[in-house]
Amino acid sequence: MSDNYDAIIIGAGIIGAAIGYELAKQGKKTLNVDMLPASGYGSTSNSCAIIRVYYSTLDGCAMAYDGYFYWKNWAEYLNAEESENLAAFHETGNLVMKTEMNDGMRGTLAHLDTLDIPYEHMTGEEIVEKYPFYDLSCFAPAKTLNDPAFGEPTGGSIEGGVFFPNGGYISDPQLATQNIQHAAERVGAEFLFNRRVIEIPTKDNRVQGVLLDDGRRIEAPVVVNVAGPHSSQITEMVGAGKDMRISTKALRQEVTHVPVPEGVDYASTALVWSDSDAAVYARPEVGNNILIGSEDPPCDSHQFVDPDDYDQNFTDQWTVQAQRFAQRLPALGIPSTLKGCVDLYDVTEDWIPLYDRTCVDGFYLACGSSGNQFKNAPVAGKAMAELIGACEAGRDHDAEATRYKLEHLDHRIDLATFSRLREINQDSSFSVLG
């Protein structure tokens, strides 16, 4: 490897790999540096990797719909070789329950109508006819296990839902990241693993590259912080946080893994399910299993942690997620052996990511993306490459934000939506839904 690059990307998760890929396609000499042994080895590997088009903001929906087409045509996006082992996109579609908490999806559907993104309304009767194993009783508001009213219906039933055909999930997010790494390497990008950045030297308010934990100094006029749960440490390292109105923190999360109930024909009809009444989302998993995550209701405490020192054991959160989904799927059994994962999200105050420059020239952010941005990785890579190119060519992005033209729909994303200088976006779901 060289001691000189056009850009160094700190992190080789799904978004870091995508940024390296897009910059390399522009002819830039790039290096992704990651403290872990392989690309996608960190929090990306434990992502539920759901592909969906519904977000709380117009640009979030647009970005996700554009991203869907890259997953749909994955080999084409990668310019993959015929023999390459590629991650599979399971296009099951997504079903979101209409609830009081999401206002019947009215705000999101208004964005989708503006963008001409397809969806279908389903009545409660139609849902039960298609998925007879579900109970649509209302249980909201969400409760903790120690609440005596936990699991008791609160009256009425779910009125219906919205089906989104353009969605599903990736069963192997780490393989997907490695696919992008290999695509990036084919166009000249380099990756360095098992090395930690310990310093980011600057001169005249411009980054000079990075210093690694083995003593090597690698020079570059551009450094991109895509360090996931460690992003706040990297930002602090270079002193780039002094003007930021939005910050990032490492948030501990658990994902529950349970087998499909015996006698339930789940595999043939299963899809990605989002349910703010039960306060969980779920998707099929290989081997006739179900993954269940929390939609972060107010009663669930947020555990912000040191990303290098946190409890990796399951807690009552594992059980409460399983029990909440069991409210909807009564035949669900709770196994004695707990399976799933405990990992970290990198989140902002409003759960909308940072795709931005900083007050330190040449230092860029692609942070706060955990939980809801996996699906957007190809678009984020392209948008960040355009933003970096514009800023390095002299554009004052803070005064006049870059607008990225999407490739699969007639819309330009205003990257001010993802600015470090923005106010907290009150339109956000303030949850993993973004």
Q: Which residues contact 238 (CB under 8 A, 6 or more apart)?
A: 200, 202, 207, 223, 358, 360, 363
d(CA 333, CA 331): 6
pLDDT at 101: 92
Residue of 252, 319, 277 lying closest to 155 (CA atoms): 277
pLDDT confidence band for 331 (50 / 70 / 90):
very high
Give me the chain's average pLDDT, please.
96
pLDDT confidence band for 232 (50 / 70 / 90):
very high
pLDDT at 267: 76
d(CA 384, CA 415): 9
Q: Which residues contact 181 (CB under 8 A, 6 or more apart)?
A: 12, 17, 20, 32, 39, 40, 189, 191
Summarised one tens digit per residue, pLDDT across range 54-90 is 999 999 999 999 999 999 999 999 999 999 999 999 9
Mean pLDDT, rounded, for 350-367: 97
DSSP annotation of 140? P
Q: Provide the CA 183 distance to its chain's centre, in angstroms.
A: 21
Q: Provide the CA 367 distance to its chain's centre, in angstroms.
A: 10
pLDDT at 222: 98
pLDDT confidence band for 1 (50 / 70 / 90):
confident
pLDDT at 134: 94
Task: Give me the amino acid identity at 355.
Answer: Y
List domains and CATH numbers for the chain: 7-85+172-246+350-418 (3.50.50.60), 100-166+248-344 (3.30.9.10)
pLDDT at 426: 92
**Are the CB atoms for 385 and 26 separated by under 8 Å?**
yes
User: H-helix or E-strand containing 16?
Assistant: helix 14-25
User: H-helix or E-strand containing 343?
Assistant: strand 339-348
Exposure on the CB side of residue 95, measured as CA atoms within 13 A = 22
Phi, psi dihedrals of residue 45, rounded to the nearest 5° = -65, -25
Summarised one tens digit per residue, pLDDT across range 100-124 is 999 999 999 999 999 999 999 999 9
Residue of 378, 291, 366 lying closest to 72 (CA atoms): 378
Token pair recorded at residue 20: 């390296």
**Are the CB atoms for 246 and 422 separated by under 8 Å?**
yes
d(CA 135, CA 18): 40
**C-alpha torsion angle, residues 94, 96, 97, 102 (rounded to 10):** 180
Whether residue 47 has pLDDT greater than 90: yes
Kindly state the percentage of the chain with pLDDT values over 90.
Answer: 92
Summarised one tens digit per residue, pLDDT across range 243-294 is 999 999 999 999 999 999 998 888 788 899 999 999 999 999 988 899 999 9
pLDDT confidence band for 434 (50 / 70 / 90):
confident
Whether residue 371 has pLDDT greater than 90: no
Q: Please, is 67 exposed, middle or buried when counting C-beta atoms within 10 Å of its C-beta (0-12, 13-18, 19+)?
A: buried
**C-alpha torsion angle, residues 82, 87, 89, 94 (rounded to 10):** -170
Whether residue 313 has pLDDT greater than 80: yes
In degrees, rounded to 5, the angle at the alpha carbon of residue 56 between the alpha carbons of residues 72 and 329 is 75
Q: Which residues contact 312 (CB under 8 A, 6 or more apart)?
A: 342
Q: How many of the other CB atoms lie within 10 Å of CB of 198?
A: 12
Instruction: Report pTM.
Output: 0.97
d(CA 248, CA 349): 7
Whether residue 180 has pLDDT greater than 90: yes
d(CA 374, CA 298): 24
Mean pLDDT, rounded, for 315-326: 96
**Are the CB atoms for 394 and 388 separated by under 8 Å?**
no
